[in-house]
Every structure is written in structure tokens, then in C-alpha cells.
Structure 1
Amino acid sequence: MIEAVKTFLVKIKDQGHVLPLIHRADIQVNLHCDQQTIQLIIKNGGIFLLQNPEEQQVKYEISGSPAAMKQLLEGTERLRFLEQQGQLKASTPLRTTLLLESIFFLTKAQNSQFTK
């Protein structure tokens, strides 16, 4: 999962159209699957991962299978769809869920236009 997160972070920094979505965001979310937890921090127009998430309390979490988490991070499937299918569980308010879904999906959507 760490490789998928790192790939996502590289992609989003190249995507100028996505960055306005996170301009004023202040979200800390744990991504959890297979005994591994990675914390994504979205703050002040930036997005990065925290190496030691156990040290900080976070109120939001997305958990599920490695395959579903990979689909989310690659933007090939939407967060709410994966949640409806029972592949992921998101403990976030609807507004945060929609923002995260947009960030993940739009990062992929822009990339696919360049690869055609």
C-alpha cells in the first residue's frame, strides 16, 4: 500500500487542477489495510504522509482490502462505490468523504487523458 500512496502523492503534485480543492482543507485520515496504517495529512494546500501515525490521534479512517485501497488511490474506483460494495469502510462525514473521493478520482481522471 505504501507504494500506491507514494505514487498518488507524486501524481497529485503534478495536477494543478486538483490543488484548489485542498487549498483550505485540514484533514488527517488514516488509511488502514492488512495491519498497515498510513496517515494522509491534507493541510494548507499540501498533501503528505506521516510515517508514525500511532503517535497522533486521528478521527477519520478508511479501511479495507489492499485491492480496494489500491483502486481508491489509483482513482479507478470511487470511495462511496467501494464503501457501498463493502470493500472499504470510511469513518468520515459525508462532506469529507466527497472531498477525498474527488481528490483521488480527479488525480486519476487527469492522468488518463494524457495516456490516451
Structure 2
Amino acid sequence: MNMIEVLNTFLVKIQDQAHVLPLIHQADVQINLRCGEQIVQLIIKNSTIMSLQNSEVQPSKYEITGSPAAMKQLLNGTERLRVLEQQGRLKVSAPLRTILLLESIFFLTKAQEHPLAKII
């Protein structure tokens, strides 16, 4: 699964996660996600989150760069952004406040079983 497919899955999942949406209510962030030659821009603005791919990508002062495996872990919410950065698997150029916001968004959006699924 390439980064665009993983990102698209993330974008679908976040719409089902009502508890995450207040985090992006006041956010205004543009960040480029770079995996080799592939660049996707994630835009969080006016309570929405969307992506632009390759030819549509605008220059951004914030960027996350890393391997496809590390990017997948980030977008799936299976590992925290700062942990991946500390391990040297992702390089992040953004202010700490932005990093913490993105980490919260990615981690809280991870695929989770519905709490009642185990009971039924």
C-alpha cells in the first residue's frame, strides 16, 4: 500500500472519529509529507482536512520526511510522531506545537474496534 492509499484511508477514518474533529476546529496547518520522490500536502483548515498530491502540492515551510514504513505507521496511528522522529525514522521540520497537534490527530484517528464489538 503506497502513501497516497494510506493517507486516503486516514482521511476516511478521521471523518468517523468525532472526538478528533474538535482538534482541527481552529487549526490552520499545511504540511508536506515526503516519501522518496512522492510528496503529499496535508491541509488542515476551517474544521476540514484534505490532501493535495504531486503536481498540486504547494511549497510549505513544514515537512515530514521518512520511509514508506514509518509514514504508514504514522498515518495508521500505530506509532507516535515524536517516537518515530526520536528513532530517526522520520524527520520533522515544524514547531513543537504543530508537531503535537499532528501527533494527536494521527494517533487518535487510528483504526479502533468499536467498544461494543467484543460484547456482541
TM interval, short-chain normalised: over 0.9
For 2:31, the aligned partner's letter is V
Cα offsets for 1:19-68 (capped at 9, x unmatched): 00000100000000121000000000000001311xx2211000000000
Cα distance in 1 for residues equivalent to 2:22 and 2:68:
29
TM-score (norm 2): 0.90
Structure 1 unaligned segments of length 5 or more: list them: none
Counterpart secondary structure, 1:98: helix
2:112 maps to 112
Query: Aligned pair 1:10/2:12, yes or no?
Result: yes
TM-score (norm 1): 0.93
For 2:37, the aligned partner's letter is Q
RMSD: 1.1
Runs of 4+ in structure 1 deviating by more than 4 angstroms, as ranges, are none
Cα distance in 1 for residues equivalent to 2:16 and 2:84:
26
Structure 2 unaligned segments of length 5 or more: list them: none
Normalized per residue, which structure has more helix?
1
Query: Aligned pair 1:64/2:66, yes or no?
Result: yes
1:89 maps to 91
Cα offsets for 1:65-100 (capped at 9, x unmatched): 000000000000000000000000010100000000
User: Aligned pairs, how many?
Assistant: 112
What is the percentage of aligned positions where both structures have the same residue?
71
